[in-house]
């Protein structure tokens, strides 16, 4: 039995206890059967798992049940104990999947039954092969030259007139392609610009065509772009 004083003053606990309290409070929404004994002296991996999966109840520990992120997400955030029938059904499904895994593994060479469960497959982003034109090649060569000179500190590598002409034609080409359904990102992954560069350029573009930011916002909400 703890004294009433210690029970009423959580600030008086040691740092280790404070850490444990944090774990319990973070895990509480996922598992209401949290017990205070689980985290004493455990490593970071278990800490992270506990944050994520919730502290397992004693019942779950004995049955070896461990819920995944995906399963929890699919089942919603009810957090209530499942009926035994559901649990049995889940165990059966798990066993079936294990069988499939075993059949797939074939010549793995391992005596233990495979326990691999594929959760998600994520494909690489599809890259559309665009038609190469001589103008594109020339533009890329020009960009390489400009970047090299700019990186060397030559800020006036382009005259204002040349910059205006380039930005103007790029705006027209990009806008026309977007409107005709040929949608692509304005900047590729390799052409890194800072947020400040983007904001300066966007502000200058809006100013050049006498548009206010609220008009851009209205147009975006109407057009859905």
Partner 1 sequence: MAEQFVGKASEFKDGDRQIVRIGEQEIGIFKHEGEFYAYSNFCLHQGGPACEGLTIARVEERLRPDKTSMGLHFTNDMNFVCPWHGYEYDMKTGEHVSNRKLKLRKYEIVQKGNDVYVVA
Distance CA(20)–CA(18), nearest Å, equals: 5
Q: How far is the CB of 47 from partner 1 (least distance, A)?
A: 8
* Binding span for partner 1 by CB under 8 A among 12-20, 120-128, 134-142, 165-173: 120-128
Contacting residue, 90, 114, 157, 167, with partner 1 by CB under 8 A = 114
**Sign of the CA dihedral with 187 first, then 193, 195, and 196 last:** negative
* Binding span for partner 1 by CB under 8 A among 43-51, 132-140, 174-182, 208-216: 43-51
Contacting residue, 35, 91, 117, 215, with partner 1 by CB under 8 A = 117
Which DSSP letter does residue 77 get?
A: S
Q: Is 116 in the site for partner 1 (CB under 8 A)?
A: yes
CB neighbours of 32 closer than 8 A, spacing ≥ 6?
Answer: 79
15-23 — which CB contacts under 8 Å span 24+ positions?
A: 23/47, 23/50, 23/51, 23/55
Residues 161-190 that bind partner 1 (CB under 8 A): 189-190
* Binding span for partner 1 by CB under 8 A among 29-37, 44-52, 156-164, 199-207: 44-52
Q: Is 3 in the site for partner 1 (CB under 8 A)?
A: no
Q: Is 74 in the site for partner 1 (CB under 8 A)?
A: no
Written as six digits, the tokens of 117 are: 């469960």
Distance CA(98)–CA(116), nearest Å, equals: 7
Contacting residue, 17, 32, 89, 115, with partner 1 by CB under 8 A = 115
Q: Which residue, 77 or 120, has its beta carbon nearer to partner 1?
A: 120
Q: How far is the CB of 26 from partner 1 (least distance, A)?
A: 9
Written as six digits, the tokens of 192 are: 């890194």
Three-state secondary-structure class, residue 149: helix
Distance CA(175)–CA(172), nearest Å, equals: 5
Q: Which residues would be at the binding site for partner 1 (CB under 8 A)?
A: 44-45, 48-49, 51-52, 66, 68-69, 101, 104-110, 112, 114-125, 150-151, 153, 189-190, 192-194, 197
């Amino acid at each position: 039995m703890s004294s009433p004083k210690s029970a009423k003053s959580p600030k008086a606990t040691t740092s280790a206890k404070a850490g444990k309290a944090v774990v319990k409070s973070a895990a509480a929404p996922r598992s209401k059967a949290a017990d205070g004994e689980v985290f004493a002296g455990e490593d970071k991996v278990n800490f992270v798992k506990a944050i994520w999966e919730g502290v397992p109840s004693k019942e779950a520990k004995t049955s070896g049940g461990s819920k995944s992120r995906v399963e929890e997400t699919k089942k919603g955030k009810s957090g209530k104990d499942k009926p035994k029938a559901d649990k049995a059904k889940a165990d059966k499904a798990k066993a079936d999947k294990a069988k499939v895994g075993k059949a797939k593994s074939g010549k793995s060479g391992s005596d233990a039954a495979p326990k691999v469960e594929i959760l998600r497959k994520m494909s690489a982003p599809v890259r559309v092969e665009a038609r190469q034109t001589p103008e594109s090649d020339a533009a890329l060569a020009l960009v390489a030259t400009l970047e090299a000179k700019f990186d060397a500190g030559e800020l006036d590598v382009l005259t204002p007139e040349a910059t205006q002409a380039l930005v103007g034609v790029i705006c027209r080409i990009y806008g026309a392609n977007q409107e005709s359904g040929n949608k692509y990102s304005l900047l590729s992954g390799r052409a890194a610009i800072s947020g400040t560069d983007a904001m300066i350029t966007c502000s200058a573009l809006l100013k050049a065509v006498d548009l206010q930011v609220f008009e851009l916002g209205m147009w975006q909400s109407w057009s859905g772009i």
